[in-house]
Structure formats: C-alpha cells, structure tokens
Amino acid sequence: MKYKIAIEGGDTFDVAADEDSLLRGALRAGAGFPYECGVGGCGSCRFELTSGDMRTLWPEAPGLSERERKRGRRLACQSQALSDCVIRVRCADEYRPPVATRRHEARLARRREIAPGMAEFLFETEAPADFLPGQYAIFHPPGVEGPRAFSMSNLPNAQGEWRFVIRRVSGGAGSNAMFDALREGDALMLDAPYGGAFFRPDNDREIICVGGGSGIGPVVSVARAALKHGGKKALLFEGARTRGDLCGPALFKAEELAALSYAPVLSSEPADSGWNGARGFVHQAVETVGAAPEKYDFYFAGPPPMIDAMQDLLVMRWKVPHAQIHYDKFL
C-alpha cells in the first residue's frame, strides 16, 4: 500500500505505508525535501500538514520549539503518513538525493577500538556501498526507540563495505546499544545515503577538513576522496582532548598520512607530556591558515560548540561564500 503526498503548489509523490518517516519516503521518491540531520535534532525538515493524517514519532524532538508545535509545525523525519496527505513545505533541487537512498541488511563484520570510547564499525552488505564521501546512514540500534545517524568514514566501493567511527556517549542509548547489543555477525537495517556535506570535486579550490570527536569519520572520507581525486590539496585538522584520543593515525594508512597535511590539535594534553604539536581548540588552529579563505572548500563535523565556532569563523569573520561551507547539523 502507498499513500500519495501532495506538496501545495509543487510535486506529488508516493510513500510506502510502512515507510518509517515522511522525510525518508520523500527522499526515496526523489523529492527535494529540505533536511540536515534526519533524526529530529536540527529542525530543517519542518513542514505543515494541510490535510490528511500523520503520526508523530517523537513528540519531544528538539528540532521544534514549543511555539512551533502550537502553530502546527511538524518534522518530516518524525512524521509517518497514515493516509493521503497535502503538506506545505518549500522544497529545492539542492536537496534532491544525488545518490538514490535504499535500505540494506548489513552485518557487523568487525569492530575495533581506535581510541578510548571510540571504535570503527565495519558493516557488510550484499549490494555495493553506494554513497558520496561525507554522507551518512540511518540505523535503528537494537532495543532503542528511534533512528540514529552515523557517517561513513570510508569511500564508496563495490564490495559492500561500510565503515563508521562511533563514540560511546555517556547516557546515549543509541551509541551504547551499538557497542553493547551488537556482536560480530549480527544484522541491522542500514538506510543510506543521506546528507549534503559531501565531497565536491568539480572546482579548483583546495580543501580544509575539520573533525572533532566522532566527527572525524565523515571528514576522513572526504579527505580520502580528495587524495584519490589527485588534483586536490587537502589539509585535515583533528581536534581531540589528548594524544591518546586522536583517531587519525588509526584510520589512515601510512601512505595516506604521508600524502595528506594532517594537523592534530589537543585541548587538554598535559603540559609535561612532550607534545610539540598544536594546543587549544581546533577552530583556533584553523585560523592559522590565514588570508585568502576563498581558496578553500571547508568540510567539518563534530560537537555543536565546534560547529558553532567554525560557523562564526567562516561566515561572520572570514565571509566565506555559503557554497564553500559543507557540514550537516547534528545534536
């Protein structure tokens, strides 16, 4: 069974009755539905229901304010169609999926620790791993209500290998389930690809990648793509608390690190540890790049304070054009 979704003054598309959210159904149908995180945190997929019936999956999702809820706003990633519907939303071609999304049965092939509380998860699917570097996948971790988004850290490949850098978050139901409830050989549904912060190779600009915490995953994917592209000079900043928390050396092959300008930045490394690299917050190290930010495309991912600091640096102070800034907003 399918439901017909009509956008006032725009497209009409069908979503399967068992589709887990309006947003993923719209993107699967090729609609240019606005979104970023896809899991209820950012609020980018707000819309209004004009007619029809929808179920709200997470009433307290932080992507909507109480005022917006009272005005009848909804989140497409937290809404499920129960009938034919008419909705009001401003779509755009820039949100149309560049790679078609699809669901895969994915088996956990291996998990390896790369830093304290951080691990690389390798999942395998029968179909090729088809995505753009920098994009993310949606999982439903076992025993946890609601979806979770994790970014791929590898490159697309015909072998069906999907790698993710996941940090165990204190009190985080999703991340803890991925660590504690999954064993090698277990299967999960992997829904991908999503996200707009993917690698753009079709210009002459150099790239700067900035990763903090598990945000290192997608920027590693972008940096790898730049290396493979050949003509792109890439600079990767990784922010971590201490030397032991750095993930770059474990994620990159030696020849990749040799070809890449890798700049680790530590915020809490003991003063007497012998560390001779950069100290402080990672966005402060990015400032050392200096003049001519128009030469670069910027890709970044990490905790919200880092994202806010990077936006302030690039947009407010450096006046970098919007088209050269690439990130997906997560909680």
Residue whose tokens read 């395998």: 124
How is residue 257 written in tokens?
A: 């690190």
pLDDT for res 253: 85
Report phi then psi at 15, rounded to 5: -125, 145
Instruction: Provide the residue type at 304 as one letter.
Output: P
* Main-chain phi, psi angles of 254, to 5 degrees: -60, -40
3-state secondary structure of 88: strand
Cα distance from N-terminal residue to C-terminal residue, the chain: 34
Q: What's the pLDDT at 292? A: 79
d(CA 11, CA 259): 46
Return the structure tokens found at 202: 């079709």
* Per-10-residue mean pLDDT, the chain, length 331: 94 93 95 94 95 96 94 96 97 93 97 96 98 97 92 98 96 94 96 96 93 94 91 90 95 86 95 94 91 88 94 94 89 56
d(CA 15, CA 66): 28
Q: Which domains does the chain have, with CATH numbers?
A: 2-95 (3.10.20.30), 102-194 (2.40.30.10), 206-326 (3.40.50.80)
DSSP-derived letter for residue 173 is H
Q: What is the pLDDT of residue 10?
A: 85
pTM over 0.85: yes
Distance from C-alpha of 243 to C-alpha of 266, rounded to nearest angstrom: 7
Pairing mode, strands 234-240 and 261-266: parallel
Residue 169: its H or E element: none
